[in-house]
């Protein structure tokens, strides 16, 4: 996916430039995160990688993996989308209470 936006070869150090992608950024002080992705999403590997980095950085992390979910599945009228949106709403609401 990144090759579409990175004008340099994937073998160059530019692939690790945080201006192109947050995958290798310093995560110090980042907020809790809910990573939501479908198994058929072409970005599933990047999502799993980022969620792992969040955990490794000692940050509050939740991962919601939806079997059969395509990219942006939560925007479509399908049962897993309703479930995903409900989980997102709960995640935000639980952290928004005083």
Residue-wise pLDDT tens digits, 28-87: 999 999 999 999 999 999 999 999 999 999 999 999 999 999 999 999 999 999 999 999
The tokens describing 46, both together, are 């990047």
pLDDT value of residue 82: 98
- Average pLDDT rounded to a whole number, residues 9-21: 70
61-66 vs 33-38, strand pairing mode: parallel
Judge whether 39 lies within some domain: yes
pLDDT value of residue 8: 59
Cβ proximity of 59 and 33 under 8 Å: yes
Judge whether 48 lies within some domain: yes
Binning pLDDT at 50, 70 and 90, where does residue 7 land? low
Which residues lie across from 64 on neighbouring strands? 36
Judge whether 25 lies within some domain: no
Binning pLDDT at 50, 70 and 90, where does residue 5 land? low
Phi and psi at residue 75, to the nearest 5°: -90, -5
What's 28's DSSP letter?
T
CA dihedral 43, 32, 56, 51 (to 10 degrees): -10
Judge whether 18 lies within some domain: no
């Amino acid at each position: 996916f990144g090759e579409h936006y990175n004008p340099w070869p994937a073998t160059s150090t530019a692939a690790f430039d945080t201006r192109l992608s947050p995958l290798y950024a310093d995560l110090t002080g980042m907020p809790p995160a809910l990573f939501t992705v479908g198994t058929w999403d072409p970005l599933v590997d990047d999502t799993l990688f980022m969620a792992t980095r969040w955990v490794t950085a000692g940050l509050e992390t939740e991962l919601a993996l939806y079997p059969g979910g395509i990219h942006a599945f939560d925007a479509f009228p399908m049962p897993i989308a309703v479930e995903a949106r409900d989980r997102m709403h709960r995640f935000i609401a639980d952290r928004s209470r005083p």
